[in-house]
Structures are given as C-alpha cells and as structure tokens.
Amino acid sequence: MQKLAFAMFDYPSLETKEELQGAQVRVDRVFSRWFKNMDELRDDAKVSGYGKDLRLSREEFYEKFGK
C-alpha cells in the first residue's frame, strides 16, 4: 500500500532531497494515522479514509512545492 502511495505523489518526478523527504514523511504520517496493525489493511472503510486523507496531503504537498 505504501508503494501505491508513493505513486500517487509521482515519486520519480521529485527532484530535490527536500521534496523526496517531504513526500516520505507525508505518506508515513497518513499511513500511521489510519493503520495500527495488518488486519486493518482489510478494512474497506479505513482504506477509503486513508485514500481520501492521502489525496488531501498530496494536494498540500503540491501547493508547498509548486508541483
């Protein structure tokens, strides 16, 4: 699931160390907020909430870095 999150941030297009670390921190923070154990990865409501939260975080990231 983390791999898909980095794809959402278009990780290969990030150019600076600050961008790479910023994306990583955001992905990790959102993931940790929604999932506390492996069983929760099967909870559709949590996965849906995670996706929505991740999209919001991505938009904030894009605004910050002008992407």
Q: How many CB atoms lie within 10 A of CB 23?
A: 22
Convert the pLDDT of each residue in 1-17 to its tens digit: 888 888 888 888 899 99
What distance in Å separates the CA atoms of residue 15 and residue 38, rounded to the nearest whole number? 32
**Which of 57, 63, 66 minimizes the C-alpha distance to 6?**
57
Convert the pLDDT of each residue in 13-66 to its tens digit: 899 999 999 999 999 999 999 999 999 999 999 999 999 999 999 999 999 988
The pTM of the full predicted model, rounded to 2 decimals, is 0.82
